[in-house]
Amino acid sequence: ACPARVFAPRDSVNTEGDDDEDVVDLAANSLLNKLIRQSLVESSHLVEVLQKDPSSPLYSVRTFEELRLKEELLKGIYAMGFNRPSKIQEMALPMMLAHPPQNLIAQSQSGTGKTAAFVLAMLSRVNALDLFPQCLCLAPTYELALQTGRVVERMGKFCVDVQVMYAIRGNRVPRGTAITRQIVIGTPGTVLDWCFKKRLIDLSKIRVFVLDEADVMIDTQGFSDQSIRIQRSSGWAHPALTVAAVEPWPPLARTLRVWQCITERGGGAPGLSAWLRPGPRSPTEGPEFKVLSPGERRRLQPWPGRLLPCVSARWAVSHQTRQNAKWLTVEMMQDGHQVSLLSGELTVEQRAAIIQRFRDGKEKVLITTNVCARGIDVKQVTIVVNFNLPVSRAEEPDYETYLHRIGRTGRFGKKGLAFNMIEADKLPLLMKIQDHFNSSIKQLDPEDMDEIE
Closest by CA to 390, choosing from 24, 107, 6, 111, is: 24
* CB proximity list for 297: less than 8 A, separation 6 or greater: 423
Nearer to ligand ADP, 45 or 337 (CB): 45
Q: Which is nearer to ligand ADP, 246 or 391 (CB)?
A: 246
Minimum distance from residue 83 beta carbon to ligand ADP (Å): 6
Q: Distance (Å, rounded) from C-alpha 387 to C-alpha 367?
A: 10
Burial letters for 199-217: b for 16+ Cβ neighbours within 10 Å, e otherwise? ebbebeebbbbbbbbbbbb
CB of 197 to ligand ADP, least distance (A): 31
Nearer to ligand ADP among residue 36 and residue 317 (C-beta) = 36
CB 32 to ligand ADP: min, Å: 11
Compute the distance between CA of residue 36 and CA of residue 358 in angstroms, rounded to an integer: 10
SS3 readout for 342-359: ECCCCCHHHHHHHHHHHH
**DSSP one-letter code for 420:** E
Report the distance separating Cα 383 and Cα 286, nearest Å.
9
Q: Which is nearer to ligand ADP, 2 or 80 (CB)?
A: 80
Please report, as a single letter, which amino acid is at residue 262: I
CA dihedral 81, 83, 86, 90 (to 10 degrees): 130
Q: Which is nearer to ligand ADP, 105 or 389 (CB)?
A: 105
In whole angstroms, how close is the CB of 283 to ligand ADP at the nearest point? 23
Which of 215, 156, 219 has its CA nearest to residue 185? 156
At its nearest, how many Å lie between ligand ADP and the CB of residue 36?
Answer: 10
Rounded CA gap, 376 and 20, in Å? 19
State the first-to-last Cα distance of the chain, in angstroms, to the nearest integer: 55
C-beta closer to ligand ADP: residue 115 or 420: 115
Q: Nearer to ligand ADP by C-beta: 31 or 342? A: 31
* Smallest gap from residue 404 Cβ to ligand ADP (A): 17
Q: Contacts for 323-329 with beta carbons within 8 Å, 24 or more apart?
A: 323/16, 323/18, 324/14, 324/16, 324/18, 324/387, 324/388, 325/367, 325/368, 325/369, 328/301, 328/304, 328/367, 328/387, 329/367
Which residues are near ligand ADP by CB under 6 A? 37-40, 80, 82, 85-86, 89, 110-116, 244
Q: Could you tell me the smallest distance in angstroms from the CB atom of residue 171 to ligand ADP?
A: 23
Q: Which DSSP category does 320 fall into?
A: S
Is the peptide bond preceding residue 9 cis, with omega within 30 degrees of 0? no
For residues 348 and 30, the answer to whether their CB atoms sit within 8 Å is: no
Q: How far is the CB of 56 from ligand ADP (least distance, A)?
A: 22
> Minimum CB separation from ligand ADP for residue 210, in Å?
11
Residue ranges in 140-278 assigned as alpha helix (H): 142-155, 188-192, 214-219, 223-233, 252-266
- Give whichever of 111 and 446 is closer to ligand ADP, judged by the CB atom: 111
Amino acid identity of residue 95, one-letter, is M
Closest distance to ligand ADP from the beta carbon of 261 (Å) = 24
Q: In this complex, which beta carbon is closest to ligand ADP, that of residue 112 or of residue 343?
A: 112
Instruction: Give the residue with the Cβ less far from ligand ADP, 68 or 298.
Output: 68
